[in-house]
């Protein structure tokens, strides 16, 4: 099939690889985008796993917690200038408070709820804000955590660029648990785990990673009889990079997050479980239009 400039552009955004490498990968895989990503990773030309969360939209993330309930929302706008507007900031905070106050599961349900201090629904207030501020905005996603018997803590970094919620299940009310939850939220903001623990990683993802490791090891000249041992070591390293419970704690890299939680539980004589987390990075997964770049690679499709 014909490899277009748009396809090369999309693959480069996904992987960070060079234009010619992207075109070759697409050619070798008959234009299959997923297979082209794997092709580049096997060749060591892609950092797709680390680049998939690049910011590509403006707006803000707001997060907050009250007692055992936490809420987080991402509100997108067209420009950073509007995102810093006081009216925009007040609106995203107001939407977050609506989520805190109501057991809401998705954006559609959120939009039907009343917006505080007005006779509008959230959807109507959004329309009003768009008309007032003069720029398109959209509520992209939300997370609400009700820990019941436990602790939920929020953290927002970089004036709304990153938001985090952490849920710890415990019967203890010790202040050290709240302090730990705050530290863990800061860790998640910095380390960007993809999964809670290794049991949360889909089996298909693990097999895909192993296959990439296998191809790279064989291509580097490693004998087949030791490749499986190499893969075992590398997959454990992979878990240490992407699983929150197995990551090195950013404040004290000598400790793993899971062991840190267990150690505090032992110290307090309490059962503490890191049950869930949520991390939003502003604009994650949304691509901006890049006309200049498209023109740059247009010649590659000829």
- Going from N- to C-terminal start, the domains of the chain cover 1-54+286-302, 58-195+258-281
pLDDT at 18: 75
Over residues 106-160, the pLDDT tens digits come to 999 999 999 999 998 999 999 888 878 878 889 999 999 999 989 999 999 988 9
Q: Choose the weakest-confidence range: 34-38, 124-128, 244-248, 286-290.
A: 286-290
Instruction: Report the alpha-carbon distance of residue 13 to residue 27 in Å, rounded.
Output: 17
More confident residue, 6 or 112: 112
266 CB-side CA count, 13 A: 6
Position 261 confidence tier, pLDDT thresholds 50, 70, 90: very high
pLDDT at 133: 82
Position 27 confidence tier, pLDDT thresholds 50, 70, 90: very high
pLDDT at 298: 52
Nearest C-alpha neighbor of 100 from the set 113, 119, 83, 85: 113
Helix, strand or coil for residue 279? strand
pLDDT at 135: 80
Does residue 51 register a pLDDT over 50?
Answer: no
Over residues 195-226, the pLDDT tens digits come to 999 999 999 999 999 999 999 999 888 888 89
Nearest C-alpha neighbor of 139 from the set 115, 119, 156: 115
Instruction: Report the alpha-carbon distance of residue 67 to residue 230 in Å, rounded.
Output: 46
Please say whether the structural domain 58-195+258-281 has been given the CATH code 3.30.479.20.
yes
More confident residue, 182 or 135: 182
Out of 3.40.1190.20, 2.40.50.140, 1.10.8.10, 3.40.640.10, select the CATH number for domain 1-54+286-302: 1.10.8.10
CB 266 within 8 A of CB 172: no
**Side-by-side strand order, sheet with 162-169:** 150-157, 162-169, 273-281
Position 46 confidence tier, pLDDT thresholds 50, 70, 90: low
CB 46 within 8 A of CB 12: no
Name the pTM for this structure: 0.77
Position 104 confidence tier, pLDDT thresholds 50, 70, 90: very high
Q: Choose the weakest-confidence range: 171-175, 220-224, 233-237.
A: 220-224
Does residue 290 register a pLDDT over 80?
Answer: no
Instruction: Report the alpha-carbon distance of residue 67 to residue 63 in Å, rounded.
Output: 14
pLDDT at 121: 95
């Amino acid at each position: 099939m014909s490899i277009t400039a748009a396809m090369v552009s999309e693959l480069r955004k996904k992987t960070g690889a060079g234009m010619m490498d992207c075109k070759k990968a697409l050619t070798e895989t008959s234009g299959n985008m997923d297979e082209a990503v794997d092709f580049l990773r096997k060749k060591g030309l892609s950092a797709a796993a680390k680049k998939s969360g690049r910011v590509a939209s403006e707006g803000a993330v707001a997060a907050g917690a009250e007692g055992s309930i936490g809420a987080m929302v991402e509100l997108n706008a067209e420009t950073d200038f509007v995102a810093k507007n006081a009216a925009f900031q007040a609106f995203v905070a107001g939407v977050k408070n609506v989520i805190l106050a109501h057991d809401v599961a998705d954006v559609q349900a959120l939009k039907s709820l009343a917006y505080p201090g007005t006779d509008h629904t959230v959807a109507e207030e959004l329309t009003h804000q768009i008309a007032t501020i003069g720029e398109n905005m959209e509520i992209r996603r939300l997370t609400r955590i009700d820990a019941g018997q436990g602790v939920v803590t929020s953290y927002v970094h970089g004036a709304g660029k990153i938001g985090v919620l952490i849920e710890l299940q415990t019967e203890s009310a010790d202040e050290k648990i709240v302090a730990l939850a705050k530290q863990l939220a800061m860790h998640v903001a910095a380390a960007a785990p993809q999964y809670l623990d290794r049991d949360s990683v889909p089996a298909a993802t693990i097999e895909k990673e192993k296959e990439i490791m296998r191809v790279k090891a064989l291509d580097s000249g490693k004998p087949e009889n030791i490749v499986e041992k190499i893969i075992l070591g590398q997959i454990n390293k992979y878990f240490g990079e992407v699983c929150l419970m197995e990551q090195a704690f950013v404040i004290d890299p000598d400790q793993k997050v899971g062991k840190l939680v267990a150690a505090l539980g032992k110290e307090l004589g309490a059962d503490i479980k890191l049950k869930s987390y949520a991390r939003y990075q502003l604009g994650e997964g949304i691509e901006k239009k890049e006309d200049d770049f498209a023109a740059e690679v247009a010649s590659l499709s000829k």
